[in-house]
A = this chain, B = another copy of it.
Amino acid sequence: MPDTAIDPDFGFTSDELDPEKCPVRQVLAQVGGKWTVLILELLQHGPRRFNALGRAIPDISKRMLTQTLRDLERDGLVSREVFPTKPPSVQYALTPLGVDLMKAMGGLLDWAWTNFDKVKTARDVYDATP
């Protein structure tokens, strides 16, 4: 009895995958950005200034650093505080919501560090057999 009981289809009411209604897709669209998680990780070490973040990420442009920070600020994940010093300084920090997000991401980040070599191996195997 090989091929029985497959494909009873799902019971999904297509409410959890609705393009703009699904929180997961919305959050992933943000988090999936090229620099988003990197910046959030850096800010976990404490508040940092614009150019400090820039120096910590050598291959990011000011354009993308600004834009990513703006998006994070807009989503309430990062706060922005301006100090009116001689040359103005701006400090960014995680909000409580941002801290919470990073805690929630812990599992995924750990998985990435401990399992990515398996993924790499799988890729090599797959690529070696066409």
List chain A positions with a Cβ less than 8 A from chain B.
2-3, 6-7, 9-10, 12, 14, 16-17, 19, 23-29, 31-34, 37-38, 41-42, 45, 47-49, 52, 55-59, 73-77, 83, 85, 89, 91, 97, 100-101, 103-113, 115-116, 118-119, 121-123, 125-127
Contacts and interface: CB of A to CB of B under 8 A. Distances in A.
In order of increasing CB-CB distance, the 4 nearest A-B pairs are A32-B32, A76-B122, A23-B116, A104-B111
Q: Is the interface of A mostly helix, strand, loop or mixed?
A: helix
Contacts of A17: 38, 56-57
A119 B19 CA distance: 17
B123 A101 contact: no
A77 B109 CA distance: 16
